[in-house]
Amino acid sequence: MKEIIWFFIGVVLLGVISGILKPKKRRSARKQASKVKTKRKESSARASHRASKTCRPDEVLLTKPLNDLNGVEFERLLALYFRDQGYVVHEVGIGGNDGGVDLVIVDKRGERTAVQAKCYADHNMVPVQTVRELVAAKRNHNCMLTLLVTTSDLTGPAKKEAEQFRVEYWHGGLVGRKLESWNKWRPTKKRKLV
């Protein structure tokens, strides 16, 4: 008889303990869900700083000056350019959720280059953080080389960091000259080269 009583006491105690612990787990799950929602809101707020996440057709992009393109369109224009130069192009970071790499280009020898594209107004400079993100992210895509392409330029510290970590970078003027010599990009209005 004592064994049955102890058995019931044990079952009741286990029920009480699990009842005490279970709400904490639920609260924890709610907190985690809340954190995920907050992170989503923050990332969508960051992404909404772009003019648009849509991309006009390739034929249209080839007729627009750089300052008329949004970030997604600039990435697409670069993809078209690199394909025409003989690279295999993987568009990995379309629309801003790129983790530091927008394109991975592979040359004829199989050498992989991580490319980060920044379509900024002339007065906005690429910060050092962008260079650091690209250097760190290239490993995630099995790339040996890195290239940062911007319609503006890099800040002084970003240039120094790029040189230190051997990140090749193309500033606005160089990008303009490369695209003009491509002969497929024919903007209707000429953009002033930096």
Regarding whether 93 and 13 lie in a shared domain, the answer is no
Is residue 153 within a helix (H) or strand (E), and if so which, with residue range?
strand 153-154
- Is residue 151 in a domain? yes
Regarding whether 175 and 116 lie in a shared domain, the answer is yes
Regarding whether 41 and 62 lie in a shared domain, the answer is no
Is residue 14 within a helix (H) or strand (E), and if so which, with residue range?
helix 2-47
CATH classification of the domain holding 78: 3.40.1350.10
Q: Among residues 51, 69, 53, which one has the least CA distance to residue 187?
A: 69
**CA-based torsion, 74, 75, 78, 84: positive or negative:** negative
pLDDT of residue 43: 40
Regarding whether 76 and 122 lie in a shared domain, the answer is yes
Regarding whether 98 and 162 lie in a shared domain, the answer is yes
Domain span at 90: 58-182
Are 152 and 171 contacting, i.e. CB atoms less than 8 angstroms apart? yes
Rounded CA separation 127/158 (Å): 6
Q: Which of 27 and 134 is assigned the larger pLDDT?
A: 134
Phi, psi angles (nearest 5°) of residue 78: -65, -40
Q: What confidence tens digit (pLDDT) does each residue in 69-94 have?
A: 898 999 999 999 999 999 999 998 76
Q: Which of 151 and 22 is assigned the larger pLDDT?
A: 151
Regarding whether 136 and 45 lie in a shared domain, the answer is no
- Is residue 187 in a domain? no
Quick one: average pLDDT of 168-191?
87
Regarding whether 65 and 44 lie in a shared domain, the answer is no
Lowest mean pLDDT among 2-11, 40-49, 112-121: 40-49
- Is residue 194 in a domain? no
Are 187 and 73 contacting, i.e. CB atoms less than 8 angstroms apart? no
Coil, strand or helix at 98: coil
Are 123 and 102 contacting, i.e. CB atoms less than 8 angstroms apart? no
Regarding whether 158 and 112 lie in a shared domain, the answer is yes
Lowest mean pLDDT among 81-90, 121-130, 143-152: 121-130
Q: Which two tokens stand for residue 166?
A: 């051997």
The amino acid present at 190, given as its one-letter code, is K
pLDDT of residue 57: 87
| Number of domains present in the structure of the chain | 2
Regarding whether 76 and 2 lie in a shared domain, the answer is no
Residue ending a domain, choose from 13, 32, 49: 49
Regarding whether 100 and 43 lie in a shared domain, the answer is no
Quick one: average pLDDT of 107-120?
95
pLDDT of residue 40: 46
Decide if pLDDT at 51 tops 80: no
Decide if pLDDT at 166 tops 70: yes
CA angle in degrees (0–180, nearest 5) for 130-99-166: 45
